[in-house]
Amino acid sequence: MRQVGLILENGFQIMGLSALAAFELANAELGSDGYRMTLLSKSGGIVRSTMNAGIETVALGVMPDTVMVAGELLPGPIAPGVKAFLVRAALEARRVAGVCTGAFVLAEAGLLDGRIATTHWAHARHLQERFPAVRVDEDRIFVQDGNIWTSAGMSAAIDLALALIEDDHGAGLARNVARRLVVYHRRPGGQSQFSALLELEPRSDRVKNALTYAKENLRNALSVEELADAARLSPRQFSRVFREETGQSPAKAVELLRLEAAKAMLESGRHAMDVVARDTGFSDRDRMRRAFLRAYGQPPTSLKRSLKLVGTEELE
């Protein structure tokens, strides 16, 4: 049985506990071969969240197989005892993980020096400024660098836990746990923290419905007429309302959705360029390349190189 210890300090963000739900459901699948979970703190006893919920903890001592650190809404200095325990954990535990702003705790203990790490996007630049030796990637869902793992905020704690479960027991179990949690099977670590649908921020249900339709039918041409029909508006009225609510033309918004989907497919490393272009509605590689250059200032192959996922084909 693998031991998972989650370190809490007063002021922890309660959403960080969601990671333990994934391990709990893994136990339902694994039985006695699963996980033993322990809530830890420097001295043990009651630790309170930002919502003032009290959680009983055990004092730091025996080293778990996997050490996790919960994040705080406002990351601050860590207790010397916690720091010393984490320094030891980097050498003795099989894995150490920071959930959300838990990355600040790992960084203060020196565990992230020279490593790639992530955290909630709202705190990423602060992390980089405070700990310049850390290579902060502010746009990732989670990052693994050696035996050190870090995740973005809030719901990304579940993605991190599912990734750890997959690391232990394979994709099949992680998929079953995700199904029990009623979440999408583990988002790839390289997936962006941002969503084109969230960035567009439509107000009305009609525009939201049109964008959802577009996202689910990227292979289609997605003309203004097709989107207007999904919104149950005339093409002229749809174009006007769409721009008022999103600040974008329908064509530009569709391109953003195609880019987001294409980027996710490329980051998975499992698809050829032609397949990505076809499945995301770009029609051909050259059109996709031009869209990438407009949006990211680099072609798709440069993205793949940066993720160390380049295959044998090139799109230059």
Residue indicated by tokens 């577009």: 214
| Tokens representing residue 137 in the block | 């990637």
Q: What angle do CA 152, 90, 25 make, to 5 degrees?
A: 55
Q: Find the catalytic residue in 100, 200, 218, 265.
A: 100
User: What stretch of H or E contains 145?
Assistant: strand 142-145
Starting from the edge strand earliest in sequence, which strands make up the sheet with 95-98, in order? Answer: 45-48, 54-59, 35-41, 2-7, 66-69, 95-98, 148-151, 142-145
Rounded Cα–Cα distance for residues 225 and 235 (Å): 5
Q: Is-contact 96 64, C-beta < 8 A?
A: no
Beta bridge partners of 135: 116
Output the CA–CA distances (angstroms, integers) from residue 178 to 28, 182, 267, in the order listed: 13, 6, 20
Is there a catalytic annotation at residue 11? no
Q: At what angle do helices 205-216 and 250-268 cross, to 10 degrees?
A: 40
Specify the pairing of strand 116-117 against strand 135-136: parallel
User: What stretch of H or E contains 92?
Assistant: helix 80-92
Half-sphere exposure (Cβ direction) of 73: Cα atoms closer than 13 Å = 9
Q: How deeply is 262 buried, as exposed, middle or buried, from its count of CB atoms within 10 A (0-12, 13-18, 19+)?
A: buried
| Helix (H) and strand (E) counts in the chain | 14, 10
Q: Count the residues in the chain.
A: 316
Q: Which residues are catalytic?
A: 100
